Amino acid sequence: MQRHLVKLLALFGSTGHHHKPIIGEGERQVSMITQSDLVASLARAADPGA
């Protein structure tokens, strides 16, 4: 299942969680995304020249 970034932001904001697993094929965890990762990525997207 794919999550839209806005939904991921809402999920972090409403649940108090600071990280979420990334699940790949076979329902195996392949990575982890943190709230800090998401904020940093959004900041880079907003100001790519910084």
Rounded Cα distance, 4 and 14, in Å: 15
Q: Which long-range contacts (CB under 8 A, 24 or more apart) does 2-7 make?
A: 5/38, 5/42
pLDDT digits (tens, 9 = 90+) for 1-50: 566 777 888 888 888 888 989 889 999 999 999 999 888 888 888 887 76
- State the pLDDT at residue 26: 93
